[in-house]
């Protein structure tokens, strides 16, 4: 994620490699973690449904990839992605994929998500239908429509709500037919760390977003706000497993195991507090790695 903004990778336009780049594999743990954590309460009491788990995971991955494609496409249309961008190459802006190809890809991906989602609705009923429809609309509304969320400082709320709360509690509902209290609290921890990925992204892109009229929370409230937000969300995420253990909603394994991932927070935290621009590309990857490690360890801890 640290290539020069003026160069594009040596990928043939329209190739499979271009589509893989468009899918943004480093972002996919954001879809995996909430499914793992949401499944853990069911597995802990012997009510794990493997088929539902696999379908839920595939649906979440498709929705994440669809959101990535939509973001790539609509940011290009709005002029937010230019040759001056500091992050990784965007396939529409760089010409690796034509806008028409992206539109077809979006239709296919969301169509596949809808088919798998239909199976989940059959299993989980109307609450899953509401979550699924809202997730697709949010993926599109993030950068599209008359009031794109990311352009009005609501991207953080969307990330927290859908990749944290909705994804975790929705997964628990599918496995259990109910939402236990521990799923609600666990969803807040997952949401806090996934939001921090976006915080780093917005901090890195502060200047280019401001120039493009993209009023992220960092643009609206400043870099100092973003840095404080990162620290608060990190602390909040780590406080929740302990709170759950104290309240008797989870064993102490759920509180202790995530601490093994805490050393991964040191480097990105230092970067967020002291750097800006392109150097934050590394911090972005490190924050995503922390989110994945925390989520996997938290899920394992919830089984104890």
Q: What pLDDT digit, counting tens, does each position of 265-289 carry?
A: 999 999 999 999 889 999 999 999 9
Q: Number of folded domains in the chain?
A: 1
Distance CA 24, CA 143 (A): 16
Q: What pLDDT digit, counting tens, does each position of 97-124 carry?
A: 999 999 999 999 999 999 999 999 999 9
Q: Is residue 10 part of a domain?
A: no
Q: Is residue 289 part of a domain?
A: yes
Q: What pLDDT digit, counting tens, does each position of 34-78 carry?
A: 999 999 999 999 999 999 999 999 999 999 999 999 989 988 887
Q: Is residue 293 part of a domain?
A: yes
Domain containing 197 equals: 28-302
Q: Is residue 261 part of a domain?
A: yes
Q: Is residue 70 part of a domain?
A: yes
Q: Is residue 6 part of a domain?
A: no
Predicted structure pTM score? 0.91
Q: Is residue 19 part of a domain?
A: no
Q: Is residue 117 part of a domain?
A: yes
């Amino acid at each position: 994620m640290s290539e020069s903004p003026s160069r594009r990778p040596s990928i043939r336009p329209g190739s499979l490699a271009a589509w893989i780049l468009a899918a943004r594999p480093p972002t996919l743990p954001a879809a995996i973690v909430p499914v793992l954590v949401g499944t853990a309460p069911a597995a802990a009491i012997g009510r794990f449904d493997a088929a539902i788990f696999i379908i839920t995971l595939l649906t979440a991955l498709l929705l994440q990839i669809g959101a990535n494609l939509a973001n790539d496409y609509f940011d290009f249309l709005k002029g937010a992605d230019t040759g001056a961008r500091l992050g990784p190459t965007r396939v529409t802006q760089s010409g690796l994929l034509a806008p028409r190809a992206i539109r077809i890809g979006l239709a296919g991906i969301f169509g596949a998500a809808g088919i798998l989602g239909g199976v989940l609705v059959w299993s989980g009923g109307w609450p899953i239908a509401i979550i699924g429809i809202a997730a697709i609309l949010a993926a599109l509304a993030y950068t599209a429509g008359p009031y794109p969320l990311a352009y009005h400082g609501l991207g953080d709320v969307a990330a927290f709500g859908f990749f944290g709360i909705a994804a975790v509690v929705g997964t628990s509902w599918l496995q259990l037919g109910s939402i236990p209290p521990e799923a609600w609290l666990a969803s807040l921890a997952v949401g806090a760390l996934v939001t921090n990925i976006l915080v780093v992204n917005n901090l890195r892109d502060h200047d280019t977003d401001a120039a493009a009229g993209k009023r992220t929370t960092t643009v609206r409230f400043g870099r100092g706000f973003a840095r404080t937000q990162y620290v608060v969300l990190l602390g909040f995420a780590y406080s929740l497993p302990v709170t759950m253990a104290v309240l008797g909603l989870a064993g102490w394994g759920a509180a202790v195991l995530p601490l093994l991932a805490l050393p991964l927070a040191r480097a990105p935290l230092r970067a967020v507090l002291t750097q800006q621009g392109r150097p934050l590309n590394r911090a972005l990857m490190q924050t995503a790695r922390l989110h994945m490690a925390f989520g996997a360890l938290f899920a394992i801890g919830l089984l104890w």
